[in-house]
Amino acid sequence: MARHDVDIAALKSSVAALEATPAGSLTPASSNLSADVQLPLANVYVDGPSVTLGAGTWLVVCTLTLVRAATTLAMYTARITDGVTHYASTQATHPSQNPHAVSMTMSAVITLAVPTIIKGQAATSAGSMTTNIKAATSINGSGNNASHIRAIKLA
């Protein structure tokens, strides 16, 4: 079982912000990836779904689904970022198998002073034209929602 570190102070802050928010006044924002995005180069981040968030404190959750159609061991990294500050990151490794898929989910509590574009990004150790951030799952697809970013304004 993987160990997951939890930022208790951030969680307490989020709970306090939710408790102080009048019922029905939460502001959501979301975006789904509309088309597959290739990861052609090794260890170079590419943009996935993005959302513009106004000033305030936001809970951001991002899921990126990556599929590779080649037989090579691949390591994947993903992050939530504004392009300068990286708010959350994760990684996964997949053995040599053709095809293979990984889904990575991250979350962060972000405080912004000005409107900012927040995006999910991914990179792979085995860049190729057959490695993609997927808009829809490859098998049993349910629309373009396999890679998305969701946010709820807390304060």
- 116-145 core/surface letters (b: 16 or more CB in 10 A; e: else): bebbbbbbbebbbebbbbbbbbeeeeeebb
CATH of region 26-153: 2.60.120.760
Residue 87's pLDDT is 98
**Along the 155 residues of the chain, how does pLDDT read in single tens digits?**
344 555 667 666 666 666 665 666 789 999 999 999 999 999 999 999 999 999 999 999 999 999 988 777 889 999 999 999 999 999 998 777 677 789 999 999 999 999 999 999 999 998 888 899 999 998 888 899 999 999 999 98
Q: What is the DSSP string of 18-43?
A: HHHSPTT--EEEEEE--S-EEE-STT
Each domain of the chain, given as residue ranges in start order, spans 26-153
Q: What is the pTM of this model?
A: 0.81
